[in-house]
Amino acid sequence: MAMAAWVLLASLFLVTVSADSKNNTANELVSVLNSNRTAHKASLLADNQGLACIALQYIKAYQGKCEDVDNKKPLDSDIADTFAPSCGIQASTLTPITGRLIGCQSKYIRAPEAFSTLLVPSSKGLDILYNKNHTEVGAAVKGTDGGSPYFWCVLFSNGKSNSSFLVDGGQIKDQGPGCFSGTSDDCSNASGSYRVLWLHLIGSLAAAVYALGF
């Protein structure tokens, strides 16, 4: 019975981790975006993790101020001077940004809804989405201080995936809370849920072992 308890709890943990391993809203956002583009006979865009990290830096630059999204944007010089170094991107591989979509609101919503209601609700947004100059895309999603408001940002570039926004050592520097596309990593907030899950599992396991007299 002790072995059965171990197997049950271990299985529960593995199933939960497996279910959460695809928990990256930014990847989902890129998938929705590319599906929409191809449905309108536009080309599929390469998902560039370096560009996506820049998108996360864009979000951080707003410092949680939703009201600034519509009328302010980071300076172009910020990309080379601040954003790229924060991500570990080689300055010589930076490529011009050919478009951006950014939205913010107090309520968290899934990628398909964010795409249709926040990022491309107007003809201007659609023009940016279907621009033929785009070859790459990077997306990021982040809350503010672990909660509301929530930001969604998509950046486009005309670079080549094997030569633009290249990261030193191929690994983006740790970015803290938030998600960015082009990686298999979960949203960083998920790590907190793993710790909570571990505590629950350890507690349950201890109770099971105690009840069985071990």
Could you read off the pLDDT of 61-114 as tens digits, one per residue? Answer: 999 999 999 889 899 899 999 999 999 999 999 999 999 999 999 999 999 999
Sign of CA dihedral 146, 165, 96, 117: negative
> What's the angle, vertex CA 160, arms to CA 158 and CA 163, rounded to 5?
130
Could you tell me the sign of the dihedral formed by the alpha carbons of 22, 26, 27, 28, in that order?
Answer: positive
Question: Looking at residue 132, what is its pLDDT?
Answer: 94
Gap between the terminal Cα atoms of the chain: 11
Give the whole-angstrom CA distance, residue 178 versus residue 142: 4
Q: Give the pLDDT score at 193.
A: 35
Residue-wise pLDDT for 108-159, tens only, equals: 999 999 999 999 988 999 999 999 999 999 999 999 987 899 999 999 999 9
The string of pLDDT tens digits covering residues 16-55 is 333 333 589 999 999 999 999 999 999 999 999 999 999 9
pLDDT-based confidence at residue 6 (cuts at 50, 70, 90)? very low
Q: What is the pTM of this model?
A: 0.78
> Where does the pLDDT of residue 213 fall: very low under 50, low under 70, confident under 90, or very high at 90 and above?
low
**Domain parsing of the chain, residue ranges:** 1-23+189-214, 24-185
- Confidence band for 175, pLDDT divided at 50, 70 and 90: confident
- State whether CATH 3.20.20.140 applies to domain 24-185: no
pLDDT of residue 188: 61
